[in-house]
Amino acid sequence: MVNVLEEIKKLSVINDIVLKGEIVLFGSDQLADLPLYELINKANLPDAVYNRALKGMTLDDANALLQASVLDIKPSKVFLDFGECDEKNNDSLKKYLSIIKRIRAALPKAEIYFIGIPETDENCRKFNAQVKAFVSDKRMRYISLTDTAATKSEKYKREFKELACFFAQRPITFNEAYALSEL
């Protein structure tokens, strides 16, 4: 369970030192498990990426943490990855919509990306289908991560490569592309 008040306190301190206009990942288990900073350092990406994912975060938690986790940073790109804790909740799509409305109101120029949850059962497939349908109507992007790796390390590298192509604020250089391919 996420302690929302503790997270808000922690984020309010570190948000004073972040770069504005960069990239924020905001989600639950799938993103929280990704060793993002290690992969970013290895790929030598030019833009700052802040991971605000927490294991076990529900959409209700996300709504409570949205200001401190995303809006205060004023990112140019927001990656949302929720559902592992909400795929059986009938109100999940409404809660997602509430979060998006708040992001759009505060950051009208920000690009929003949705990352699908692993389709381990029918509830997960249905949840992803609902998110995809919503995204296609709102001119946002849906990203489905491939989950066919044999090891955790391979899985992390594959997911990062699939996400990193959306991280760049400008065309990447040959050296940056090479570093990414070496993962």
- Domains of the chain plus CATH, in order, are 4-181 (3.40.50.1110)
What's the pLDDT at 71? 96
Closest-CA residue to 81 (of 126, 118, 35, 27): 27
Which tokens sit at 29?
A: 């288990």
Tens of each residue's pLDDT in the chain, 183 residues: 678 788 888 888 898 899 999 999 999 888 888 877 777 776 777 778 899 998 888 899 999 999 999 999 999 999 999 877 676 777 888 898 899 999 999 999 999 999 888 877 888 888 888 888 878 766 688 888 766 666 777 777 777 777 776 676 655 666 666 666 665
CA distance 27 to 57: 7
Q: What strands, in cross-sheet order, belong to the sheet with 77-81?
A: 49-51, 23-27, 77-81, 111-115, 141-143
What's the pLDDT at 129? 87
| DSSP reduced 3-state for 51 | strand
Which H or E run includes 7? helix 4-14
Angle at 36 between CA 35 and CA 37, to 5 degrees: 100
Mean pLDDT of the chain: 81
Which H or E run includes 142? strand 141-143
CA distance 38 to 40: 6
| DSSP reduced 3-state for 144 | coil
CA distance 30 to 1: 16
Instruction: Kindly report, residue by residue over 81-112, the tens digit of the pLDDT.
Output: 987 767 677 788 889 889 999 999 999 999 99
What's the pLDDT at 159? 75
